[in-house]
Amino acid sequence: MELYKEFSFDAAHFLPNVSPDHKCAHMHGHTYYVRILLEGPLDPVLGWVVDFAEVKSAWKPLEKILDHKMLNDIVGLENPTAEIIAVWIWERMKPKLPLLKSIEVKETPTTGVVYSGK
């Protein structure tokens, strides 16, 4: 069984390694959308894989670091592409959620990435 919980955060960023004429070389902001997907067996007594509240508890400290921040100032996010943000979230959530299957990060309604730990 797969289960997911979705979150969002607002942050500013720019991409330091693109050419100066790329639009993302300039500081701008996104409402980032994050989907945390887990996969595991259904507990026959509880009737769930993991309590959604457990997923929320694992996410909240990361939201505190990311929300309303300049992402480039955060250690590990000096080049905050959606890909690097997804890996950054994965590395911090996997130890807390062993059943984690993927992290999806969307920068806009039409652009995003999915990282599955490899």
Ligand X SMILES: Nc1nc2c(c(=O)[nH]1)N=C([C@H](O)[C@H](O)COP(=O)(O)OP(=O)(O)OP(=O)(O)O)CN2
Residues making up the annotated binding site are 13, 28, 30
Distance between CA atoms of residues 66 and 43, nearest Å: 33
If you compute the radius of gyration of the chain from its CA atoms, what whole number of angstroms results? Answer: 15
Instruction: Return the residue of 24, 65, 74, 99 that touches ligand X, per CB under 6 A.
Output: 24
Residue closer to ligand X, measured from CB, 50 or 71: 71
User: Minimal distance in Å, beta carbon 87 to ligand X?
Assistant: 12
Instruction: Return the residue of 41, 44, 46, 110 that touches ligand X, per CB under 6 A.
Output: 110
Instruction: Return the residue of 37, 89, 107, 115 that touches ligand X, per CB under 6 A.
Output: 107
Residue 28 near residue 5, CB atoms below 8 Å:
no
The verdict on 82 binding ligand X (CB under 6 A) reads yes
Q: How many CB atoms lie within 10 A of CB 27?
A: 11
* Tokens coding 50: 């993991």
Residue 7 near residue 34, CB atoms below 8 Å:
yes
User: Contact residues for ligand X (CB under 6 A)?
Assistant: 24, 28, 81-83, 107-108, 110-111
